[in-house]
Amino acid sequence: MKLLGQILPPTATTRSCRSGRPSPCFLEYVKVKHKEYLELLAWLADMGLGSQLNYRQGSLLRQALKKPGSSFTAKQLKNLFDVSENTARADLRRLEKLQVLAPYRVGKTVEYVARADAAERLRAGFNGANRRRATKVRRR
């Protein structure tokens, strides 16, 4: 995910023009972000995780799969998504349960590293969960 300052040129701001309308750069930024959001939702639905993960978790999952070995902290996610550290920790723990991230301690901080085999673990874990769910439905 790119931050606002990385997409907009330094001269472009989110202030509106004299006419009271948003600047063209800001409108382009909103279009790009909306497109990224829709692409992420479609990608999560294709993976079968659309109803299980929220947008923050989905974008973190995509980043972890693109860059194995990268590390994440609750503080980083807090600043990136503008959420509380508890919410960021919950998102990280959710991806840990999916076996995409592995936690490790650095002093008092818990960092989560993207596993190199995250895609395989995700496929295996998700397929296993579907099989268990299908078995439970048949027993009823």
Could you give the CA distance from residue 51 to residue 94 in angstroms, rounded to a whole number?
A: 13
Query: Over its length of 140 residues, how does the chain's per-residue pLDDT go in tens digits?
Result: 444 444 444 444 445 455 566 677 888 888 887 887 777 677 667 777 767 788 888 888 888 888 888 999 999 999 999 999 999 999 999 999 888 899 999 899 999 999 988 778 777 765 555 444 433 434 34
DSSP state of 67: S
Could you give the CA distance from residue 58 to residue 41 in angstroms, rounded to a whole number?
A: 8
Q: Is 59 exposed, middle or buried (0-12, 13-18, 19+ CB in 10 A)?
A: buried
Of residues 116, 105, 123, the one with CA closest to residue 64: 116
